[in-house]
Amino acid sequence: MLTAHLPSGDVLARLAPKGRWLMPAALIGAVLPDFDMLWFHLVDQGSIHHHRYWVHVPVFWAAIAALTLPGLALFARTLLAPALVFFAALLLHMVLDTIGGGILWGAPFDDRLYTLVEVPAAQAHWVLSFLLHWTFLLELGVWALALYLWCKGRRV
Ligand SMILES: [Zn+2]
């Protein structure tokens, strides 16, 4: 997914029950894994698919959630809802990345990148290949839903 992670977090927060800090938690969770692009470009020089980094591995975030959520439920209950939305946004990020990019859903037992649709390298640059593939319509759909919910929320 190229462009729709941020609006997907916006949609998630707007559809969640109302609460404090849900929008920032959703927006951060929706884009956080892709900050690995800095490491991908600056350190690894693009030699490893960035979806193989730990921030794109579902079991990593499941372990973090399993460690933090019980503590929040017991000792910082006001942070529980934002944390749940944050982890939901992370999960949504990886689900959306599965459409055309591949995610290590079987890690650590399986090192295959699972993807729903193979986007062929049909253009000179990989970004163009993704932009001109039908799956980009799904991204536009996420943007349209975010815009719709934003407009609807402004009228209430
Ligand atoms: Zn990603």
DSSP conformation letters of 23-48:
HHHHHHHHHGGGGHHHHHHHTSTT-S
CA of 148 to the centre of ligand 1 (A): 24
CA of 106 to the centre of ligand 1 (A): 17
Closest CA to 1 of 143, 110, 148: 143
Query: Using DSSP, how many helices (H) and how many strands (E) does the chain show?
Result: 7, 0
> Looking at residue 71, what is its pLDDT?
98
Q: What is the mean pLDDT of the chain?
A: 96
Q: At what angle do helices 80-100 and 22-31 cross, to 10 degrees?
A: 30
CA of 155 to the centre of ligand 1 (A): 32
Predicted confidence (pLDDT) per residue in 52-88, tens digit: 999 999 999 999 999 999 999 999 999 999 999 999 9
CA of 72 to the centre of ligand 1 (A): 26
Structural domain spans, the chain: 5-155
CA of 120 to the centre of ligand 1 (A): 18
Q: Which residues contact 88 (CB under 8 A, 6 or more apart)?
A: 12, 16, 26, 29
pLDDT of 112 strictly over 80: yes
CA of 93 to the centre of ligand 1 (A): 6
